[in-house]
Structure 1
Amino acid sequence: MTTNNNIPKLRLWISYILQGIIVIMLLMGAFNNLLMTEMAVTGAKEMGYPEYSVHYLGIILLVSTLLYAIPKTAFIGAILLTGWLGGAVATHIIHGDPLYNMFFPIVFGIVVWTCLLLRHKKMCEVLLNR
């Protein structure tokens, strides 16, 4: 997907800044998992994930985030991140966590797609015409 030259520069900058914030935060989570930090391992165990899965979850999050950060693969990365964030929400629901624990994954998912919608005129047109 290529960006359209008719999109205002402010809109493009907003999308890049928001995407940068999301990418940085998700990369921090991926590296926490890859480095098997105490916080990542403890959190995963509390949610019912085995300790050995933390490393694999870090790899999946890293690949998805990198795909999202690269303009030509951002759409595929957004789909993968949506699945990742949906899994986070599902995990919180399964464990009966309070509603506010689901707030951040939902907001991150909205921002992931908002960045792409701000940047790609065709995606906006398709979404608004249906």
Structure 2
Amino acid sequence: MQASSQHVSPPKGRLWAGRIISAIPIAMLLFSAVKKFLRPPSVVQGFAHYGYPESMIVVTGLLELACTIVYAVPRTAVLGAILMAAYLGGATATNVRVGDAVFLIPALLGILAWLGLFLREDRLRALLPLRSAK
């Protein structure tokens, strides 16, 4: 028996809801990456506050950009979501470590990334069914 290689698209409403939800973490991480490339004083001060060297600002921006691009491309979106979850998990842990209340922001972005992907990708829904089989 051979697995079907045909991709079945989800219903249009669910697909568009997933795209809109996915656009939120994409936009936020792209904005964040661009800020890291521009290196305004607020970013430099933020890295010092978190205990990271200034030399890591551009590297972190490149990681953000790479994760976001891989997530934004439908063919590689699942890998992108995994990479994004790892990156955002590190951001959440960094905020918790220094006692910043903004730790919820990267956590929520990760949740939105997976929710958006879950809505627009039927293959992921098949792997993670949220209801019992009938």
Is TM > 0.5 for Structure 1 vs Structure 2? yes
Query: Alignment RMSD, CA only?
Result: 1.9
The alignment's TM-score, normalised by the length of structure 2, stands at: 0.86
Alpha carbons of 1:94 and 1:67: their partners in 2 closer, same or farther (altered >3 Å)? same
Distance, in Å, in 1 between the alignment partners of 2:79 and 2:124 is: 14
Question: Cα deviations across residues 43-88 of structure 1 (Å, max 9, x unaligned)?
Answer: 1111111111101100111111111111111111111110111001
Task: Tell me the amino acid that sits aligned with residue 11 of structure 1.
Answer: R
**What percent identity do the matched residue pairs reach?**
36
The alignment's TM-score, normalised by the length of structure 1, stands at: 0.89
Residue aligning to 1:122: 123
Matched, 1:111 2:75: no
Residue aligning to 1:43: 46
Matches within 5 A, 1:42-121: 42-98=45-101, 101-121=102-122
Q: How many residues align?
A: 127
Would you say the 8 A contact 1:30–1:61 is kept in 2?
A: yes
Residue aligning to 1:4: 8
Task: Tell me the amino acid that sits aligned with residue 49 of structure 1.
Answer: Y
Distance, in Å, in 2 between the alignment partners of 1:92 and 1:2 is: 42
Structure (1 or 2) with the larger CA radius of gyration: 2
Distance, in Å, in 2 between the alignment partners of 1:83 and 1:21 is: 17
Question: Cα deviations across residues 75-114 of structure 1 (Å, max 9, x unaligned)?
Answer: 111111101110011111211233xx22111111111111
Structure 1 runs (4+) deviating above 4 angstroms are none
Would you say the 8 A contact 1:2–1:72 is kept in 2?
A: no
Unaligned runs of 5+ in 1: none
Would you say the 8 A contact 2:92–2:107 is kept in 1?
A: yes
